[in-house]
Amino acid sequence: MPPLGIHGYALAVSSYFIILIAASQTDPSEVNALIDIKKGLIDPMDNLRNWNSGDPCMANWTGVWCFDREEPDGYFHVQELYLMNMNLSGFLAPQLGQLSQLKILSFMWNNLKGTIPKEIGNIASLELLYSSRELRITRPKGVEIKRIKEQSRQPRRAPY
Residue range 24-82, pLDDT digits in tens: 799 999 999 999 999 999 999 999 999 998 999 999 999 999 988 888 999 999 999 99
Give burial (CB, 10 Å; 0-12/13-18/19+) of 84: middle
8 Å CB contact between 79 and 58:
no
Q: Is the entire prediction scored with pTM above 0.85?
A: no
